[in-house]
Chains A and B, each alone.
Chain A
Amino acid sequence: MDGLETQFDETIAADQRIEPRDWMPEAYRKTLIRQIAQHAHSEIIGMQPEGNWILRAPSLRRKAILLAKVQDEAGHGMYLYAAAETLGVDREELTEKLIESKQKYSSIFNYPTLTYADIGVIGWLVDGAAICNQVPLCRCSYGPYARAMIRICKEESFHQRQGYELLLAMVNGTDAQREMVQESTNRWWWPSLMMFGPPDADSPNTQQSMAWGIKRHTNDELRQRFVDMTVPQAAALGITLPDPGLVWNEERSAHDYTEPDWTEFKAVIAGSGPCNAQRIAHRRRAHESGSWVREAAVAYAEKQAAKQEAAA
Chain B
Amino acid sequence: MSGDENVYDSLTEEHGADTQWAYGHGAFGSGIEDVEAEIASPVPDGVDPSDLAQYCLMLGDDALICSHRLSEWVSNAPELEEEVALANTALDLLGQGRVLLARAAHLGAAADEDVLAYQRGEAEFRNVALAELGDDLDFGRAIARLLLFSTWRLALLSRLTGSRDPVVAAVAGKGVKELTYHRDYAARWTLRLGDGTAQSHDRIQAALDAVWPYVDELFRTSDVERRLVGAGVAVDPAETRAEFDEVLDQVLAAATLTRPQRPGIGTIGGRGGRQGLHTEKLGHVLAEMQSLARQHPGATW
Contacts and interface: CB of A to CB of B under 8 A. Distances in A.
Interface stretch (B47-55, B71-79, B163-171, B265-273): B71-79
B117 interface: yes
A154 to B, nearest CB: 8
Contacts of A300: 191-193, 195-196
Interface string B290-301: 011100101111
B76 A286 contact: yes
Interface string B110-141: 00011001100000000000000000010100
Contact of A58 (B30, B76, B296): B296
A91 B293 CA distance: 39
Interface in B1-48: 1, 4-8, 10-12, 15-16, 19, 21-22, 26-30
A268 interface: no
Contacts of A233: 12, 15
B81 interface: yes
Given A44-B80, A229-B8, A296-B193, A60 B101 contact: yes
Interface in B66-109: 68, 71-72, 74-84, 87-88, 90-91, 94-95, 97-98, 101
Given A135-B8, A232-B12, A54 B199 contact: no
Interface in A63-109: 63-65, 67-68, 70-71, 74-75, 77-78, 81, 91
Contact of A54 (B6, B74, B83): B74
B77 A60 contact: no
Contact of B87 (A57, A74, A78, A292): A74
B210 interface: no
Which of B8, B10, B97, B293 has its CB near the most chain A CB atoms (within 10 A)?
A: B8
Contact of B78 (A51, A116, A135, A294): A294
Interface in A141-170: 153-154, 157, 160-161, 164-166, 168-170
A60 B98 contact: yes
Contact of A297 (B118, B137, B196): B196
B241 interface: no
B75 A290 contact: no
A130 to B, nearest CB: 10
A64 B88 CA distance: 10
Contacts of B91: 64, 67-68, 71
Interface string B242-276: 00000000000000000000000000000000000
B80 A166 contact: no
Contacts of A44: 75, 80
Contacts of B288: 55-56
Interface residues of A, number: 75
B1 to A, nearest CB: 6
B64 to A, nearest CB: 8
B180 interface: no
Contact of B301 (A71, A116, A236, A303): A116
Contacts of A154: 7
Contacts of A125: none
Contact of A55 (B11, B72, B81, B299): B72
Given A68-B91, A290-B77, A294-B78, 19 more contacts: A54-B71, A63-B71, A64-B29, A67-B71, A81-B80, A154-B7, A169-B300, A169-B301, A173-B299, A173-B301, A174-B299, A176-B299, A225-B1, A236-B19, A295-B196, A295-B200, A296-B193, A297-B196, A300-B196
Interface of A: 44, 47-48, 51, 54-65, 67-68, 70-71, 74-75, 77-78, 81, 91, 116, 128, 131-132, 135-136, 138-139, 153-154, 157, 160-161, 164-166, 168-170, 173-174, 176-177, 216-217, 221, 225, 229, 232-233, 236, 282-283, 285-287, 289-300, 303
27 contacts: A58-B293, A58-B301, A60-B113, A61-B27, A63-B94, A70-B87, A71-B74, A71-B91, A74-B84, A78-B80, A91-B80, A131-B11, A135-B5, A135-B8, A139-B4, A157-B11, A160-B11, A161-B11, A176-B299, A232-B12, A236-B15, A236-B16, A236-B19, A290-B77, A296-B196, A296-B197, A300-B196
Interface of B: 1, 4-8, 10-12, 15-16, 19, 21-22, 26-30, 64, 68, 71-72, 74-84, 87-88, 90-91, 94-95, 97-98, 101, 113-114, 117-118, 137, 139, 191-193, 195-197, 199-200, 203, 288-289, 291-293, 296, 298-301
Leading 9 A-B pairs by shortest Cβ distance: A290-B78, A296-B196, A296-B200, A71-B87, A74-B83, A293-B78, A64-B29, A300-B192, A51-B74
